[in-house]
């Protein structure tokens, strides 16, 4: 596997994974995309519309560059909202590659050590990185039976696209995510393919097609309705 660092249109870094022929973020803007899909449409929406006990439990499918986790950490530390952040990754980005990503340099409040702490963190254990942010990185592909037993308030689904990793977008894979979502919980993904949307509807989520980030027409957000009593 070779990782190639590229600069996207908003000046922020992404990586191209030559094994899958895919980039980790939109070439129209890595930070723009992550903020739009996961922070604004996901975390911001959850905090505005749902009442969740604390800490907020977030699951990210596809830790990748750590950008989604880093933006989440910055957001919740500014707001003083405690979060337990669990992320699964099968192909970790090496530290020497992470050191070359420019997110801390261009984000307000960014700090290189805080960003690299996400990549230095050990696997399969909780690590408190700040009073508001606990990280648990999980090694594996996220499809094993033990991987999604907890109930999450928010799921960031950020796997490589269906063209690169179709097995991660099947109804079976998506069902593992919907099963792991708490009632009233929120599921967000950049992928708005009709087959994915129909699967999520069939699995019981209330799905919205939302405007996508720059360069992408749509994204998906789903909410898991309460079970009938």
What pLDDT, in 10s, does the model give residues 133-164?
999 999 887 665 444 556 899 999 999 999 99
Work out how many domains the chain is built from and give that number: 1
Q: Does 115 map to a domain?
A: yes
* pLDDT attached to residue 219: 98
In a domain, residue 201? The reply is: yes
Is residue 223 predicted with pLDDT exceeding 80? yes
pLDDT at 114: 97
Query: Is residue 25 in a domain?
Result: no
Domain-located, residue 21: no
pLDDT at 144: 54
Instruction: Give residue 150's pLDDT.
Output: 61
Res. 174: pLDDT tops 80: yes
Q: Is residue 52 part of a domain?
A: yes
Domain that holds residue 214: 30-223
| Residue 113, C-beta contacts closer than 8 angstroms, at least 6 positions apart | none
Note the pLDDT of residue 1.
65
Record the tokens describing residue 122, joined without a space. Answer: 């050990």
Contacts within 8 Å (CB) and 24+ apart, 167-173: 167/143, 168/61, 168/141, 168/142, 168/143, 169/193, 169/195, 169/196, 170/199, 171/199, 171/202, 171/203, 173/143
For residue 192, the model assigns a pLDDT of 96
Q: Is residue 5 part of a domain?
A: no
Q: What percentage of the chain has pLDDT greater than the value 90?
A: 89
The CATH number linked to 200 is 3.40.50.150
Q: What is the mean pLDDT of the chain?
A: 93
- Whether residue 131 lies inside any domain: the answer is yes
Give the tens place of pLDDT for each residue, 176-193: 999 999 999 999 999 999
For residue 90, pLDDT beyond 50 = yes
Q: Is residue 7 part of a domain?
A: no
Confidence of residue 52 (pLDDT cuts 50, 70, 90): low
Interval 66-93 mean pLDDT: 96
pLDDT in tens, 4-45: 999 999 999 999 999 999 999 999 999 999 999 999 999 999
């Amino acid at each position: 596997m070779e990782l190639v660092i590229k600069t996207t249109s908003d000046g922020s870094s992404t990586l191209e994974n030559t094994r899958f022929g895919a980039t980790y973020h939109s070439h129209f803007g890595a930070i723009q995309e992550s903020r739009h899909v996961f922070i604004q449409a996901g975390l911001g929406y959850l905090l505005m519309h749902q009442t969740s006990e604390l800490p907020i439990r977030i699951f990210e499918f596809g830790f990748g560059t750590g950008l989604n986790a880093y933006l989440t950490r910055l957001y919740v530390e500014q707001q003083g909202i405690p979060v337990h952040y669990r992320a699964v990754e099968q192909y970790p980005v090496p530290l020497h590659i992470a050191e070359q990503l420019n997110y801390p340099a261009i984000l307000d409040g960014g700090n290189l050590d805080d960003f690299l702490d996400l990549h230095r963190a050990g696997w399969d254990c909780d690590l408190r990185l700040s009073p508001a942010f606990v990280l648990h990185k999980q090694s594996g592909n996220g499809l094993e039976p033990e991987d999604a037993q907890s109930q999450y308030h928010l799921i960031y689904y950020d796997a490589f696209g269906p063209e690169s990793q179709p097995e991660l977008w099947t109804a079976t894979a998506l069902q593992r995510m919907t099963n792991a979502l708490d009632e009233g919980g929120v599921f967000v993904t950049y992928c708005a393919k009709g087959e994915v949307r129909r699967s999520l509807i069939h699995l019981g989520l209330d799905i919205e097609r939302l405007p996508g980030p720059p360069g992408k027409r749509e994204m998906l957000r789903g909410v898991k309705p309460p079970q009938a009593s």
